[in-house]
Structure 1
Amino acid sequence: MTIKVITFGTFDVFHVGHVNLLQRAAKLGDELIVGVSSDPLNRQKKGRAPVYSQQDRLRIIAAMSDVTRVFVEDCLTLKRRYIKEHGADILVMGDDWRGKFDEFNDICEVIYLPRTPSISTTEIIEVVRQPEFC
């Protein structure tokens, strides 16, 4: 039996924390399926456009050897549908989301992985925007 793992994220300004999450998620199964937030969804949930376009972020994630397939996540409230459509056995999210996706335990195992310490896309963007950085 093939074990399918699914995860979701924006994956903007791709960094080692993203790599760590995807590699650890991939080790939990045979296939890793990644939902990448659409540009409109990112604007809705973060209040800003992503630095990299949806197409670029999809290409970056698809280029990872651990990733089997990528798709566009258009709506946060459709996670249950995405999990079922892709036949996922395990949903993996960072532990900053702990408890937020437990409702899906009825259709798959939900695992929260520890975030990589001292790194976040938001912090990277803030550092780059600071005048003294230039």
Structure 2
Amino acid sequence: MSSVDTHPERRTVITFGTFDVFHLGHLRILERAAAHGDRLVVGVSSDALNMKKKGRNPVFSEAERVAILSAMRMVDTVFVEESLELKRDYIKEFGAHVLVMGDDWAGRFDEFKDICDVVYLPRTPAISTTAIIEHISVMEQ
């Protein structure tokens, strides 16, 4: 894991998510996030954090999710996000100029506008990990 960019003229974008059951919506938000800068850093929720946030374990382990995201050409750095309370520290550690999140989080990260730009992107319509998991569960019954 490389933290602060050694090329200060490059604009670093950071985003966070679980990225479980990787789908088109994940791809689109990463593409649009990457377009806001020169370097994209992605924080992947740890398995424990996902359990705390959503009350369930992810389908894919954090190691699998990190591997999937690390293989994406638009992603430069991937790290495991251990705590929601450390977002400010992660933004500073990676020298992020922009925090990008889905618009389902609109307003929730405005507190970081003192250290970086905060951008909320529209989600891809009609796609959600929860809906995919529920659909698969119904098909298995």
TM-score range, shorter chain: over 0.9
Residue number among 114, 125, 132 corresponding to 1:124 in the alignment = 132
Residue number among 71, 95, 103 corresponding to 1:95 in the alignment = 103
> Once the 2 structures are TM-superposed, how far is the Cα of residue 21 of structure 1 from its aligned partner?
0.2
- Cα deviation 1:51-79 (Å, max 9, x = unaligned): 00000000000100000000000000100
> Once the 2 structures are TM-superposed, how far is the Cα of residue 29 of structure 1 from its aligned partner?
0.3
- Give, in whole Å, the separation in 2 of the partners of 1:113 and 1:65: 20
Partner of 1:115: 123
- Structure 2 residue identity aligned to 1:67: V
Report the number of matched residues: 132
Partner of 2:93: 85
Q: What TM-score comes out, normalization by structure 2 length?
A: 0.93
Mapping 1:38-57, distance limit 5 Å: 38-57=46-65
Find out whether 1:33 has 2:41 as its counterpart: yes
Q: Which runs of 5+ in 1 are unaligned?
A: none
> Once the 2 structures are TM-superposed, how far is the Cα of residue 99 of structure 1 from its aligned partner?
0.2
Partner of 1:10: 18
- Give, in whole Å, the separation in 2 of the partners of 1:14 and 1:37: 14
- Cα deviation 1:12-46 (Å, max 9, x = unaligned): 00000000000000011000000000000001100
Q: What TM-score comes out, normalization by structure 1 length?
A: 0.98
Q: How many percent of aligned residue pairs carry the same amino acid?
A: 63
- Give, in whole Å, the separation in 1 of the partners of 2:129 and 2:85: 23
- Structure 2 residue identity aligned to 1:58: V
- Give, in whole Å, the separation in 2 of the partners of 1:62 and 1:27: 17
Moved over 6 A (4+): none
